[in-house]
Amino acid sequence: MISSAWAFRLSFQDIVAPVPHCETTILPHPDKLSAAAIPKGPVQVIERMMTLLDVLSHHPDPISLKQLALDSGLHPSTAHRILSAMTASGFVERGEPGSYRLGIRLLELGNLVKERIGMRETALPLMRELHARIGESVNLGVRQGDEIVYVERTSSGRSSVRVVHLVGAQAPLHVTAVGKLYLAQDAATAVQAYARRTGLPGFTPSSLTTLPTLERELTRVRRDGVAYDKEEIETGLRCVAAPVRDDSGELVAGLSVSAPAERYDPAWVPLIRATADAISAGLGYASPPGKRRSAGASGR
């Protein structure tokens, strides 16, 4: 059986018109070739392939050859030859007679790319940039059961407060900004179950230790899209967090900034949100249009 990669190579050769002569031609050194002198056949075919894939990506259902040719601006016969090559390699699949859709091979390649994009390696450079701008500790936390685990941190090194956000450290969901992001996406019954399981222990006079106060706080988190820890796990320490999402839109982490209460600045919120959005984009997430919300005054 011919492999899909080799089948594609064979089909590709069929697309590019063969040279009708057998004469040997000596070409000048590549450095001396002008842009106009560089052969454009294969490049043009690749560009047309990408155009067709682009058109297909905007149609969840199979699309007819006629419509593909119309949307791509290609002649139907040209589109058909290229689609045949991509079908042989698995990049495109045939739907109903005369229609096409994106193929499973693209998913396989996409998964390979996704596996190479680690959240920490995507987040850390952006966390460092944020740290350089505001000079405070920047943390990345993920949920593990009823707790948040901090998987990455850039430290300011100038806080006299014992900051709990050390890499590998754990903290309850209801007293951390990142934890509240996760609780805010849970159903009411799940939040109630969390409260029963944990008993909502307090750590400071500011801790949220009753279900009604926690539910009111989570309503505000859902409204504003950011979460706060107002000295709830440690007296004198404040924190604000924004969500990090993957390509499916799932909440996979929270990006937070922690600082002594006297240094906390509400002007950080847009920067934290923008950094979290940039990390999400690096993981393949595309924010729906018009979904951005401004942080409420309660964070001040």
The secondary structure of residue 59, as a DSSP letter, is: -
Which tens digit of pLDDT belongs to each residue from 76-98?
999 999 999 999 989 999 988 88
Q: What is the distance between the alpha carbons of residues 111 and 266, in angstroms, rounded to a whole number? A: 39
Q: Specify the pTM.
A: 0.61
Q: Is the pLDDT of residue 44 over 80?
A: yes
**Average pLDDT value for residue range 214-235:** 96
Which tens digit of pLDDT belongs to each residue from 245-271?
998 899 999 999 999 999 999 999 999
Band of residue 60 on the pLDDT scale cut at 50, 70, 90: confident
The order of strands in the sheet holding 251-260 is 170-172, 147-154, 137-144, 251-260, 237-245, 227-230
The reported pLDDT for the residue numbered 107 is 82
Q: Is the pLDDT of residue 1 over 70?
A: no
Kindly list the distances between the CA atom of residue 250 and the CA atoms of 185, 243, 245, 246, 253, in Å, as whole numbers in the listed order.
10, 10, 5, 6, 9
**Average pLDDT value for residue range 225-246:** 96
Q: Is the pLDDT of residue 121 over 70?
A: yes
Sequence-distant (6+) residues with CB within 8 A of 102 are 53, 56, 57, 91, 92, 93
CA atoms within 13 A on the CB side of 270: 2
CA atoms within 13 A on the CB side of 286: 2
**Average pLDDT value for residue range 156-185:** 76
Where is pLDDT greater, at 163 or 227?
Answer: 227
Q: Is the pLDDT of residue 158 over 60?
A: no
Q: What is the distance between the alpha carbons of residues 176 and 208, in angstroms, rounded to a whole number? A: 10
Rg for the chain, CA atoms, rounded: 27
Quote the crossing angle between the two packed helices 4-15 and 41-57, to the nearest 10°: 120
SS3 81: helix
Decide if 207 contacts 175 (C-beta within 8 A). Answer: yes
Q: Give the chain's domains with CATH numbers.
A: 4-110 (1.10.10.10), 117-299 (3.30.450.40)
Band of residue 150 on the pLDDT scale cut at 50, 70, 90: confident
Go through 37-70 and write b for each residue having 16 or more CB atoms within 10 A of its CB, e for each that does not: eeeeeeeebeebbebbbebbeebeebbebeebbe
Q: Is the pLDDT of residue 295 over 90?
A: no
Which tens digit of pLDDT belongs to each residue from 180-208?
999 999 999 999 999 999 999 999 999 99
